[in-house]
Chain A
Amino acid sequence: MRFGVVVFPGTWSDCDFHYVISEVIRQPVKYVWHRDRNLADLDCVVLPGGFSYGDYLRAGAVAGKSPVVEALRDFVANGGYVLGSCNGFQILCEAGMLPGVLMRNECLQYRCQSTNLLVENVETPFTRGLRAGQVLTMPISHGEGKYYADVPTLAALKARQGIVFRYATADGQVVKAANPNGSVENIAGVVNETGTVLGLMPHPERAAETAMGGTDGLLLFQSLLGTLVEDGTFLKR
């Protein structure tokens, strides 16, 4: 599978995603400059974390109007996969490619910590190797990760199984104490209608090697590649 990692001015998880894709899951990967519109030779585009354009307006607001994000709409319409993590999730929401918005953390402070994610939807390409109810551990690192959607949007999101991850305790309890940023209903990650665009605040690329403290982030890539399903790894978990 051919991956592209988008670089906006101010992006900083680009190298980390590039490393995981090329060195850990060993797939072809290249950087995509924010002015590029040509995504033709890619199967999956990653929108990484960072502070695109400094995020001095709202997080992701400027990047949401960039040439590469404009091109993403056609890319998605043609069946391409998009994974947006952290700033990437914020950008996808600002671009209207995912519902809802990401607001300042409820604590009004930046948060860098480990979180537990309850997997709710295993029908997406990114989660098809997982079990519903499985709990993944991945770190967050953001100041504006409080997910919010109004009541009708939230209802629609739930109706179509759009919520993929919720912040939870290690044993899968979705409670306030496990919510690091005040997200509505502990929402940590959502998908679009076709399930091909995933946005999440946590950093799967930081949980992709044992040396870095865990490998749950790899499961998203392995699901996407189908390797999890094929070799049966997920069954053992």
Chain B
Amino acid sequence: MAGTEPKVTPDLAQSLGLTLDEYHRIVQRLGREPSYTELGLFSALWSEHCAYKHSRVFLGRLPTRAPHLLQGPGENAGAVDIGDGWAVVFKMESHNHPSFIEPFQGAATGVGGILRDIFTMGARPIAILDSLRFGDPADLKTRHLINGVVSGISWYGNCFGCPTVGGEIAFAPEYAGNPLVNVMCVGLVRSDRIHLARAEGVGNPVFYVGNKTGRDGIHGATMASATFDDEAEAKRPTVQVGDPFTEKLLLEACLEAMATGAVVGIQDMGAAGLACCTSEMPARSGTGMDVELSAVPQRETDMTPYELLLSESQERMLLVGANGRDEELRRVFAKWELDAVKIGEVTGGPDLVVRHHGEEVAHVPVEALADGPRYEKPYAPPAWLAERRAFDPLSLPEPQDYGETLVRLMGAPTIASKEWAFRQYDQQVGTNTLVLPGSDAAVLRIKGTRRAIAISTDGSGRQVFLDPRRGAAMAVCEAARNVSCAGGRPLGVTDCMNFGSPERPEILWQFAEAIEGIAEACRALEVPVVGGNVSFYNETSGTAILPTPICGVVGVLEDAGRLGTQWFKAAGHRIALLGPDAVSLGGSEYLWTLHGRLAGRLAALDLEIERRVQSAVRAAVGAGLVTAAHDCAEGGLAATLAEGCVTGARANGGVGCEVTVEPGRRLDETLFGEGPSRVVVTVEPARQREFEALMAESAIPWRWIGTTGGERVIVRAGEVVVNVPVDRIEHAWRNGFERHMA
């Protein structure tokens, strides 16, 4: 071993992020002290980021089976069958920590990482969606983060050539010291051509392909498994630097290599780089691996085995080839001017044996590395929660002017137009995007078929904060409802679980409850969780983010010609509200924007009604009976109607509406209260009868509430309570976020 390596001690182990107990466990497992390189392997693979130490006991609760499921959790990404011989591969991942330290590269490499997860499965990426959370955009530091993150996503996704078709951006002060950057990618592959990250076949060659290895990102996984303090800036060297051009070449080369049939297994070198691939791939197959590090293509000199194994340099893959077909594979990568170097081979196991210039530097059972510790830590609801929930929003005074309140809500950064961000993203490359960003869900056609897919992401930290179980269930429901509004039948969920430190019982309780909520909703809607990730330790100086599970849902439309969008198309269409009346101002955008409060109870969630409402909306969209379908979300019924009027304005010139609401509740609750399972649709008068018949069959609560048309948004509750020009609402909505960024 190299003489300059630090001596392995329990203190060193702790400085690398392992606990004393974990260190002793390693010694016990190996029957000896680990070498410095081995200690590095364990510190990375046993990090929270790689090992899911605190979350694994809960993740088993998620439903992961369905007839159309082709690949569930445990691989680079999940996959579902969409029919006609095609599958979509998708996953969402967080890149929160790197994006706070270095927003541009942090977000860019977040995009790069998830793209690779998709194309290692053999799928061509066709869509990116970003779920972003920041502090108040009025704050200078937050604007710097927004600018960096958006331009990083733009730079990487645009250069690579995958369209960014959706996602959401929301704001709350709890994210100021810890923004969330969750990126979802969807890819398309023939359903019988999915590739897995397995090291099958003793004697098969192991190839390193893609970019050269440098010293960037060493211990990135460990960094992502700790909270921040005021020294976050000092961690900048742990953030990787992306190269979208090389990623594009890697995509083309990998897909071309797979088409030869000579690729046995392949995995992205993401978190914990080579260390992760060389242990996880054989662990999945019950094999082992022998690796010679001196063969690894390097762009820096004198890299140690430790550095080579733990580097998180981007745009690299580990590929297991079929024996005897080395030349074929090399030719493909040479065409794309990429390295493809044999660095080892698959063995019968059970060990990973790593050599450097022939000298053995690590010799560890792959199982020991891949199967990290699992913790069942105590959890309990936070003491302050009962008081927060007990708050009654109706104890606050009613607004003086409902019209002005609506205008103000439409200009709240979370509700306002995000065009400032989306116009920086290529939304159309691939020419599949039928519905561009700005509707409930993005819709992409599947060329060569009549089908399309609809995709949406959602997750409200405020709702989960007040009621983790119901709030998380609502996140699944809302993403699925968005997909249903576009006409898509939800097929699968990917979830990104963003929380504070799991070592605090109240945070772990939030997490455990959120998992239960997601599981309940997925069971009720019959959609499996196909994969995702857990991001803990989203805290800075002891302050945790709002607990934020983000759910990404993909659904299929049998007929791409029958799709739903959220904006009102023309005057004279009748407006219906589908779903229950149960709404609440607790945790609402109204309560936050008007009163600066995060408190109260969430509206009831009836999962059976949710399922029926979604099914009814899909049937109506699929039958061409509705001209618009829009999920009621932030800002309640009033904001939903106003969005129907203004969000399609560029295409339609803006369409007003006139509606009447039922008495019974206080008006602020009726207009701005938020609740699940509610959808606003518009219907041409000629199709009214058919629509009514369909609703009668659907067994859901619904009613006509008004008509589109005119140049104003008018709401009657006995008398006229809202009467505002569409132009004014549109102006507030267009500028509410952008004015901070201009």
Contacts and interface: CB of A to CB of B under 8 A. Distances in A.
A80 interface: no
A212 interface: yes
B244 A51 contact: yes
A63 to B, nearest CB: 12
B32 interface: no
Interface stretch (B151-159, B190-198, B669-677): B151-159
A54 interface: yes
A143 B151 CA distance: 11
Given A9-B337, A211-B445, A211-B560, A16 B423 contact: no
Given A19-B447, A112-B423, A54 B159 contact: yes
B158 A143 contact: yes
A44 B249 CA distance: 26
Contact of A10 (B159, B425, B430, B431): B159
A9 B336 contact: yes
A139 B430 CA distance: 13
B28 interface: no
B158 A110 contact: yes
A160 to B, nearest CB: 33
A141 interface: yes
Contacts of A109: 151, 154, 423-424
A111 interface: yes
A148 interface: no
A51 B155 CA distance: 11
Given A110-B425, A111-B424, A141-B158, A9 B245 contact: yes
A112 B428 contact: yes
Contacts of B447: 19
A141 B248 contact: no
A177 interface: no
B431 A110 contact: no
B420 to A, nearest CB: 9
Interface in B145-203: 151, 154-155, 158-161
A141 B249 contact: no
B425 A50 contact: no
B380 interface: no
B423 A111 contact: yes
Contacts of A54: 159, 243-246
Interface string B593-627: 00000000000000000000000000000000000
A12 B423 contact: no
A11 B430 CA distance: 12
Interface in B433-485: 433-434, 445, 447
Range, interface on chain A:
20 to 34
B244 A141 contact: no
A199 to B, nearest CB: 19
Q: Name the residue in B245, B427, B430, B433 with the highest tally of chain A Cβ atoms < 10 Å from its Cβ.
A: B245
B256 interface: no
A10 B424 contact: no
Nearest to B164: A112
A110 B430 contact: no
A55 interface: yes
Contacts of A141: 158, 426-429
Nearest to B245: A54
A206 interface: yes
A7 to B, nearest CB: 9
A56 B423 contact: no
A12 B431 contact: no
Interface in B239-293: 243-246, 248-249
Contact of A211 (B246, B422, B434): B434
A13 interface: yes
A19 B337 CA distance: 26
Q: Name the residue in B155, B248, B425, B434 with the highest tally of chain A Cβ atoms < 10 Å from its Cβ.
A: B248
A94 interface: no
Contacts of B155: 110
A10 B248 contact: yes
A172 B373 CA distance: 67
A113 interface: yes
A120 interface: no
Contacts of A234: none
Contacts of B429: 12-13, 16, 49, 141
Q: Name the residue in B159, B427, B431, B560 with the highest tally of chain A Cβ atoms < 10 Å from its Cβ.
A: B431
B472 to A, nearest CB: 33
A232 to B, nearest CB: 28
Contact of A53 (B245, B428, B445): B245
Contact of A12 (B154, B161, B425, B561): B161
Contacts of A53: 245
Contacts of A203: 428
A203 B431 CA distance: 11
Nearest to A50: B161
A87 to B, nearest CB: 11
A141 B431 CA distance: 13
Nearest to A54: B245
B428 A206 contact: yes
Nearest to B124: A15
Contact of A55 (B159, B246, B424): B159
A15 B423 CA distance: 23
A49 B248 CA distance: 14
B430 A9 contact: no
B560 A56 contact: no
A111 B434 CA distance: 19
Interface in A3-58: 9-10, 12-13, 15-16, 19-20, 49-51, 53-56
Contacts of B425: 110, 112
A132 B190 CA distance: 46
B426 A112 contact: yes
Contact of B428 (A9, A15, A55, A139): A139
B426 A205 contact: no
A112 B427 CA distance: 7
A49 to B, nearest CB: 8
Q: Name the residue in B154, B422, B426, B427 with the highest tally of chain A Cβ atoms < 10 Å from its Cβ.
A: B426
A104 to B, nearest CB: 13
A211 B161 CA distance: 20
Interface string A182-208: 000000000000000000000101101
B424 A12 contact: no
Contacts of A212: 428, 431, 433-434
Nearest to A33: B335
Interface in A39-87: 49-51, 53-56
Contacts of A55: 159, 245
A25 to B, nearest CB: 14
B245 A205 contact: no
A16 B245 contact: no
A167 to B, nearest CB: 15
Given A55-B159, A109-B151, A113-B423, A12 B248 contact: yes
Contacts of B428: 112, 139, 141, 203, 206, 212
A149 B55 CA distance: 59
Q: Name the residue in B158, B244, B429, B430 with the highest tally of chain A Cβ atoms < 10 Å from its Cβ.
A: B429
A143 B154 CA distance: 10
Nearest to A23: B447
Interface in B531-584: 560-561
A110 B424 contact: yes
Given A9-B245, A10-B249, A51 B423 contact: no
A44 to B, nearest CB: 19
Contact of A112 (B161, B424, B430, B561): B424
B424 A205 contact: no
Nearest to B428: A206
9 contacts: A10-B249, A20-B431, A49-B429, A51-B244, A110-B155, A111-B423, A112-B158, A139-B428, A206-B431
Interface of B: 151, 154-155, 158-161, 243-246, 248-249, 336-337, 422-431, 433-434, 445, 447, 560-561
Given A12-B161, A51-B159, A141-B427, 11 more contacts: A9-B245, A9-B336, A10-B245, A12-B248, A51-B244, A51-B245, A53-B245, A54-B243, A205-B431, A208-B431, A211-B434
